[in-house]
Chains A and B, each alone.
Chain A
């Protein structure tokens, strides 16, 4: 099964590799209107993200998942603790540009992330900022647009794109800078089924090419695609592991107002009646495969 093998390889990798992002006892409090500190949004978070890893962060509204993701490239600095990106502390202001080159970020509303009046100019924006020589830009823009599936849109104006295409443009603008990690903060939440599917395809392709992905999402079927799912609640990590382990704890998740993918729920229900059916399935492909496996065994 797909995720199983990647899990095994990940275990080995983790021993050998240095983490790309390391959060050490990170706490964060938003300041109130009068400057007084109010609600703690994050509480002693310890987390490592490794090169090439695909991580999904889930949690109900206000669980701190968005706040956490904004620490990964120094948009927010921890109130206590440290975040290290490739060995650099995000508190070091002089390193911020290097850190942001390493860790790119895409947000929820694509309309507010597009700066330029044509697709190619928008992709060029980041390259201009990190002072890529102009003669190198064309090639980088080409590659980024190809990865995002927007090659034919190069000269279009952003307002002629669909929401899904706009969001892929936002991704192209980030990956042209060749980051080691892409953080997506609810980047699919405004897209329709088709737009989401296309976006996920792009993300998968980037991950296969070696880019680490951190996605903050409400969609459990999206989280099911990751190598590791991190569940946040009230600013703390309450559960983490491969999706098939996490999504088996349905009662635990429901207490925290989180659902599990429909496939996992169905697998759980079938398992109760037919114990030979595996309960730890995460997508429809696996459910159908499990039925085939059991029937095949019966026929032999």
Chain B
């Protein structure tokens, strides 16, 4: 029964352990590169630019040797949302007509111009591109690598006294315990269901009842979180952890020329797709 198995889907995360150029990239360069790419996509308004980005996203999938259907499966649940958004944008764009624009339909409040059509198409494309690009990142990088990449990127912040190391330690522990709690939640749901509990029944307006239905899950989960935290602190202290004391780091950046060329290619490509004066 898949009802209780949702947690496994969180549990496993998304990383797919295969080997490719993309998998082997240094995580901080990769994280930075993909961030640049996503920001560039978000600002890209032209048809041509988006076609380029879309092609590039597919190209990344090929490079990373990831099955494209995993990327596409991320899009599927977003389709209804995208359709609603498109309809709303089309109906209520209200931006008027620009000098270069053409009016397609004008009926009472309804005004559909080439600009509003472009907005709809471009935002749908951007959406798909961002999902594809971020899928490549998460499918090809283990969470740990992402965290260490982030830690290295944040390192300069320590000069403004931002506790980078502690911050990333907290994130690491949080990520570490996600599967643990997800499994625990699954077990609790099954255990309470075995005693006749039914979750997610009752109408939406029966908020009190639905909240009360969650008590048999939330109370034990909360209690276990407290107990685990106690144990964890003890275990950390036993391994000589003293908050705020300086530590060395096991993971060091291993960025090589290959990683920097990847970063430069992405930056160059993004600038081109964003600013080249495409016709139309």
**Contact residues of A with B, CB < 8 Å?**
73, 75, 97, 100-101, 104-105, 107, 109, 111-118, 120-121, 124-134, 137, 141, 157-159, 170, 173-174, 177
Cα distance A127–B242 in the bound complex, in angstroms: 13
Contact residues of B between 182 and 241, Cβ < 8 Å to A: 183, 227-228, 231-232, 234-241
Contact of B173 among A100, A115, A131, A134 (CB under 8 A): A115
Whether A129 lies near B240 (C-beta < 8 A) is yes
Determine whether B176 belongs to the interface, using a CB cutoff of 8 Å to chain A: yes
Question: Known: A111-B180, A128-B247, A159-B11. Is A116-B144 also a contact (CB below 8 A)?
Answer: yes
* A–B Cβ pairs within 8 angstroms, 6 of them: A112-B232, A117-B176, A129-B241, A129-B242, A174-B239, A177-B239
Question: Smallest distance from the beta carbon of A278 to chain B beta carbons, Å?
Answer: 41
Pair B232/A113 contact, Cβ less than 8 Å? yes
Identify which of A100, A117, A141 contacts B147 (C-beta below 8 A): A117
Q: Is the CB of B172 within 8 A of A116?
A: yes
Report the minimal beta-carbon distance from B124 to chain A, rounded to whole angstroms.
35
Chain A residue nearest to B146 in the complex (CB): A117
Residues of A within 8 A of B231 (CB): 107, 109, 112-113
In contact, A113 and B144 (Cβ under 8 angstroms): no
For B172, give its contact among A97, A117, A131, A132 (CB under 8 Å). A117
Shortest CB-to-CB span from B69 to chain A, Å, is: 24
* The one of A73, A120, A159 that contacts B238, using a Cβ cutoff of 8 Å: A73
Q: Which of B26-34, B129-137, B153-161, B248-256 contacts A (4 or more CB under 8 A)?
A: B248-256
For A138, give the chain B residue with the smallest CB separation: B250
Bound complex: CA of A173 vs CA of B239, how far in Å?
A: 8
Which of these, B142, B228, B237, B245, contacts A75 with CB under 8 Å? B237
Residues in chain A near residue B248, CB distance under 8 A: 127-128, 131-134, 137
**Cβ of A117: which chain B residues have Cβ within 8 Å of it?**
142-144, 147, 172, 175-176
| Interfacial chain A residues near B245, Cβ < 8 Å | 129
How long is the Cα–Cα vector from A128 to B143 in the complex, in angstroms?
20
Contact B238 A174 (CB under 8 A): yes
Instruction: Report the minimal beta-carbon distance from A132 to chain B, rounded to whole angstroms.
Output: 6
Contact present for B172 and A115 (CB under 8 Å): yes
Given contact pairs A115-B232, A128-B250, enumerate 19 new A-B contacts (beta carbons under 8 Å): A73-B238, A105-B238, A107-B231, A112-B232, A112-B235, A115-B176, A117-B143, A124-B250, A125-B236, A125-B241, A127-B250, A129-B241, A130-B240, A131-B246, A133-B248, A134-B249, A157-B142, A157-B144, A177-B240
Q: Are A97 and B242 in contact (CB under 8 A)?
A: yes
Task: Choose from A118, A125, A141 the contact partner of B144 (Cβ within 8 Å).
Answer: A118
In the complex, the chain B residue whose C-beta lies closest to that of A73 is B238
Could you tell me the distance between the alpha carbons of A159 and B246 in the complex, rounded to whole angstroms? 29
Residues in A with CB closer than 8 Å to B239 are 100, 104, 125-126, 129, 173-174, 177
Distance in Å: Cβ of A153 to nearest Cβ of chain B: 14
- State the CA gap A97–B172 with chains docked (Å): 23
Whether the Cβ atoms of B175 and A100 lie closer than 8 Å is no
**In the complex, which residues of chain A have a beta carbon less than 8 angstroms from the beta carbon of B252?**
134
Of A100, A107, A134, A174, which is within 8 A of B250 by CB? A134
Contacts of B251 in A (CB 8 A): 121
Q: Given the interface contacts A115-B172, A116-B144, does A100 sit within 8 Å of B238 by beta carbon?
A: yes
Whether A113 lies near B235 (C-beta < 8 A) is: yes
With the chains together, A118 CA to B172 CA distance in Å?
10
Residues of A within 8 A of B246 (CB): 131
| B147 near A115: Cβ-Cβ < 8 Å | no
The contact of A97 among B173, B227, B240, by CB within 8 Å, is B240
Contacts of B180 in A (CB 8 A): 111, 159
Chain A positions within 8 Å of B175 at CB level:
117
A127-B250, A133-B248 known; A158+B240 contact, CB < 8 A: no
Q: Considering only CB atoms, which chain B residue lies closest to A131 in the complex?
A: B248
What residues on B are CB-neighbors of A112 within 8 Å?
227-228, 231-232, 235
Bound together, the chains give a CA A105 to CA B234 distance in angstroms of 10
- Chain B contacts for A158, CB-based, 8 A: 176
Task: From known contacts A117-B175, A134-B250, A137-B250, infer whether A107 and B144 are also in contact, taking CB-CB under 8 Å.
Answer: no
**Chain B, residue nearest A97 (CB):** B240
Residues of B within 8 A of A170 (CB): 235
In angstroms, Cα B175 to Cα A177, docked, is 25
CB contacts (< 8 Å) of B241 on chain A: these are 125-126, 129
How far, in angstroms, from A126 to B237 measured CA to CA in the complex?
Answer: 9
With a cutoff of 8 Å between Cβ atoms, the chain B residues found around residue A174 in the complex are 238-239
Q: A97-B242, A158-B176, A159-B180 are in contact. Are A115 and B250 (CB under 8 A)?
A: no
Query: Within the assembled complex, what's the spacing in Å between the Cα atoms of A137 and B183?
Result: 32
Q: Are A115 and B236 in contact (CB under 8 A)?
A: yes
- Residues 168-180 of B, flagged 1 when their CB comes within 8 A of A and 0 if not, give 0000110110011
- Mask, B118-136, CB within 8 Å of A = 1, is 0000000000000000000
Cα distance A132–B249 in the bound complex, in angstroms: 9
Whole-angstrom distance between the Cβ of B110 and the nearest chain A Cβ: 53
Q: Which residue of B lies closest to A120 (CB)?
A: B250
Distance between B58 CB and nearest chain A CB, rounded to angstroms: 29
Q: Which of A111, A117, A131, A133 has most B Cβ within 10 Å? A: A117
Q: Find the B residue at minimum CB distance from A108.
A: B231
